[in-house]
Amino acid sequence: MIDAELPPPVWVDTPARLAALAADLSHQPLIAVDTESNSLHAYRERVCLIQFSTADTDYIVDPLALPDLSPLSAPLAKPVIEKIFHAAEYDLICLRRDFGWQINSLFDTMIAARTLGWQQMGLAALLEAYFGVKVNKRHQRADWGARPLTADQLAYARLDTHYLIPLREKLTRDLRAKGCWPEAREAFERLSRLNGNAIPAPAAFDPESFWRISGARDLTPRQAAALRELFIYREDIARRHDRPPFKVMSEATLLALAQAAPATLDELKPIPGMTDGQIRRHGAQLLQAISRGRKAHAPRPPAQERHDNDVLERYETLRRWRKQRAQERGVESDVIVPREVLWEIALNPPQAPADLAAVAGFGPVRRAKYGEEIIRALREMK
């Protein structure tokens, strides 16, 4: 989708243009930010575009053409400059992973919409509701690592930030009108503290991570050994061909192969996901992997964290309280209190509201609003 009324975005692919962008951003009170990655098209994803919008200009940065993006780190770290994202967490993880950036002073339009009780809180829904703008979503799954990008792709990418500054103003107005601004601001501050650390950067491939496949723990020891070998084979193919592992073969197919333990190419045919093309490309190697599994030492599943019954009962009590409170407000449950905060309270039950100050991620606004209710709910379960 191309809006003829908008001037073209500024394409940043040289050190000189990057320096000019960094200088402009350094003097802005508000910056809209978004990223595009190639997670659906590469073995190891990377940030392939970074979009910025100020009140006057839309920029699109090409990280693939620029070996050093460090000039942008200073304006992004400045606390006096507010950075506006939509659904910031994943972007923050990617930007921290690829560039080591610490991004301070955040406003997340999705968090704002969720705090207001929006049921459809995707950016496309918000843009249509507030500005009457309809976004064509067909580029969501595009390969952003390919070059050159089409004019439609660039238009799509720029719209992810073009309206974020005026959207921030409208959402702030509505949050204040409903008395939700302190709660939203506390959620933004919590996001700033996490700042891309919620999910660790991907480590080297761990063959034992096959246990995370749904159904792996239900296998016999011999089947689990076969699944491990199949999992290793898939990873090797994905790495060599620079493809996401799921595009080589689904986890459901790996599990079905381990369960059936076929010994011939014909026995592969009934297995879900094993098309003629898959059998032609991978059949012999899959049979070899299964054969190795038959001879391998049977792997033992890692121990699972278990909580005692008192902790589980406290968590369930808090979960029911949170669900009821969310229904009363017309919001999702974690808008009231994040799930990890409930777990911490269940693990370390407070005796008085003041004890809740020690709970990480449970800020003063929510403590004042819900602290007494939480203490009362825990006392009533005894």
Mean pLDDT (the chain, rounded): 94
CATH number for position 234: 1.10.150.80
Per-residue confidence band for 6, with pLDDT thresholds at 50, 70 and 90: confident
Domain match, 241 and 291 both: yes
pLDDT tens column, 198-224: 555 556 899 999 999 999 999 999 999
Residue 158: burial class (beta carbons within 10 Å; 0-12, 13-18, 19+): buried
Asked if 17 and 145 sit in the same domain, the reply is yes
DSSP string for residues in 134-179: ---GGGTT--TTSSSPPHHHHHHHHHHHHTHHHHHHHHHHHHHHTT
Do residue 230 and residue 314 come from a single domain? no
What is the count of structural domains for the chain? 3
User: Does one domain contain both 282 and 341?
Assistant: no
**Confidence tier at 348 by pLDDT (50, 70, 90):** very high
Same domain membership, residue 24 and residue 155 = yes
CATH, residue 156? 3.30.420.10
Of 295, 319, 339, the one marking the end of a domain is: 295
Could you tell me if 60 and 141 lie in one domain? yes
The verdict on 21 and 144 lying in the same domain is yes
- Report if residue 5 sits inside a domain: no
Structure confidence by residue, pLDDT tens digits, 157-207: 999 999 999 999 999 999 999 999 999 999 999 999 887 665 555 568 999
Same domain, 33 and 153: yes
Q: What are phi and psi of 217, to 5 degrees?
A: -75, -10
Domain membership of residue 152 as a residue range: 10-194
Which amino acid is it at 170?
K
Model-level pTM?
A: 0.91
